[in-house]
């Protein structure tokens, strides 16, 4: 592997104390709304839980501990086409170690992948050289303030990053928006991609369907279920895809508003049996939310929905992911197409139906996800 050039520099996290002090002041000045008695989460984020979480944020949560954990791993900043891209780069300890770029989604961040790091890098026989970047406009990566920063655009940046690191053959893994970025990588650079592992299929995905072709009952049932889910739960996505800036004025100014917007998704999209803290600790939730707050990235992160809506993952005739694909299907994931529909656009070689877990698989079920990633790539030869 080649030595990184001077376009890649070491990076460490050290948020100015005044930013953290300002956060606590704003939390203390929160104006709380009313609610319908006993409504719990039915109208959105539960008021009682949000007050409890906010009190913990003020009194107990320690961002400096999060910084220490982040900085315990090698972090870097790469200048790619003038864009500053933050990424973690952890070399595997195995006799064989496969380069793997893992991409997060929204409302997550690179922090989602922290539990995967030891599981994927420390096996003495087969491991991964992990590259865990932050999507532009998320975390510590720079915001791109011109149109066109969609998943395909990010895939091009990722490929340049991997080439700069000396990885001319590498694997790609992702969920949520990361699944779309990883898919674009595989479509555009198939000779460089060893394999593609996904735990989600982009919501805009449509394989090529010939005019007049009848869809199967299985696919029609999925489309009906997906439409019903969107009617109940999809307001956030319509907002992000149409008028993200309007919502961002409030979310970028109120930490409790930001917290409510994000924590509702962690509650609704995870396998938690009705209690969010069955799956995530307060510290885990607040680490991710605080990252959005201190970097002021809520608008830039939402904006990718708008950009992706202009370039959906709709396959043309003869467009197909030819690289080997592994898929991990978690039971509480957002609506997922049937395998038969996915296979029309993806070269599925490995499929696992998981016993537990939801949308945030790397955080919820790191052992299950890491084992599936390892099983898939270790068999590719």
Which residues carry out catalysis? 176, 305, 359
Non-local CB neighbours of 64 within 8 Å, separated by 6+ positions: none
Helix (H, G, I), strand (E, B) or coil at 262: helix
Name, in order, each residue with C-beta under 8 angstroms of 121's C-beta and a sequence gap of 6 or more: 90, 91, 92, 93, 97, 127, 128, 129, 130
Q: Which of 248, 236, 254, 263 is nearest to 53 (CA)?
A: 263
DSSP SS3 for 174:
strand
Q: Max Cα separation, the chain?
A: 62
d(CA 46, CA 249) in angstroms, rounded, equals 22
Half-sphere exposure of 22 (CA within 13 A, CB side): 10
Q: What separation, in Å, do the N-terminal and C-terminal C-alpha atoms of the chain show?
A: 19
């Amino acid at each position: 592997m080649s030595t990184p050039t001077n376009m890649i520099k070491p990076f460490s996290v050290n948020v100015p104390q005044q930013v953290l002090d300002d956060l606590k002041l704003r939390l203390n000045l929160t104006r709380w709304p009313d609610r319908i008695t006993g409504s719990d989460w039915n109208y959105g984020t539960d008021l009682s839980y949000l007050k409890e979480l906010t009190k913990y944020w003020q009194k107990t949560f320690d961002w400096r501990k999060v910084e220490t954990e982040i900085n315990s791993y090698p972090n870097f900043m790469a200048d790619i086409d003038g864009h500053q891209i933050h990424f973690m780069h952890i070399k595997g300890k195995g006799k064989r170690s496969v380069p793997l770029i893992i991409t997060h989604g929204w409302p997550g961040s690179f922090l989602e992948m922290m539990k995967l790091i030891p599981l994927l890098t420390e096996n003495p026989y087969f491991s991964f050289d992990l590259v865990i970047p932050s999507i532009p406009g998320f975390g510590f990566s720079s915001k791109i303030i011109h149109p066109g920063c969609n998943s395909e655009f990010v895939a091009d940046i990722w490929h340049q990053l991997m080439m700069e690191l000396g990885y001319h053959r590498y694997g790609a893994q992702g969920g949520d928006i990361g699944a779309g970025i990883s898919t674009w990588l595989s479509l555009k650079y198939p000779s460089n991609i060893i394999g593609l592992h996904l735990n989600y299929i982009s919501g805009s995905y449509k394989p090529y369907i010939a005019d007049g072709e009848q869809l199967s009952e299985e696919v029609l049932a999925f489309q009906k279920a997906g439409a019903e889910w969107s009617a109940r739960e999809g307001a956030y996505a319509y907002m992000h895809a149409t008028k993200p800036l309007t919502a961002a004025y409030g979310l970028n100014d109120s930490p409790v508003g930001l917290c409510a917007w994000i924590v509702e998704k962690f509650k609704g999209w995870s396998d938690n049996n009705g209690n969010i803290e069955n799956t995530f600790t307060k510290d885990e939730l607040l680490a991710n939310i605080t990252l959005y707050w201190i970097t002021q990235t809520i608008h830039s992160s939402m904006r990718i929905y708008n950009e992706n809506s202009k370039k959906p993952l709709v396959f043309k005739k003869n467009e197909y992911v030819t690289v080997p694909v592994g898929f991990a299907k978690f039971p509480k994931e957002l609506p997922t197409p049937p395998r038969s529909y996915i296979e029309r656009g993806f070269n599925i070689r490995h499929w696992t139906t998981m016993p537990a877990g939801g949308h945030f698989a790397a955080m919820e079920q790191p052992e299950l996800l890491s084992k599936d990633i390892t099983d898939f790539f270790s068999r590719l030869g």
